Amino acid sequence: IGFIAGETAPAGRTMGHAGAIVGGSDDTAQAKKKVMRECGIHVVDSPAEIGKKVKEVLG
């Protein structure tokens, strides 16, 4: 189960720590979520959805 924070942050705004900096035009929250899904990760849009998704995935 994955979640990407900062999706609503303004473009060009540095958020969090140095390892979390968005670099290029395709290094966005949406692009990261797309890659995660392509890798088989179940991505949620809100931390509030994590419990429901865990229950769904584990059955």
14-34 pLDDT per residue, tens: 666 655 555 666 778 888 899
Q: What local confidence, expressed as pLDDT, does residue 6 receive?
A: 77
Residue ranges of the domains in the chain? 2-6+20-58
- Kindly name the residue from 10, 12, 13, 17 that is annotated as catalytic: 17
Answer whether 28's CB lies under 8 Å from 20's CB: no
The pLDDT confidence band at residue 52, using thresholds 50, 70 and 90, is very high
| Four-residue CA torsion sign, 25, 1, 44, 4 | negative
Catalytic, 42? Answer no
What CA–CA distance (Å, rounded) separates 22 from 32? 10
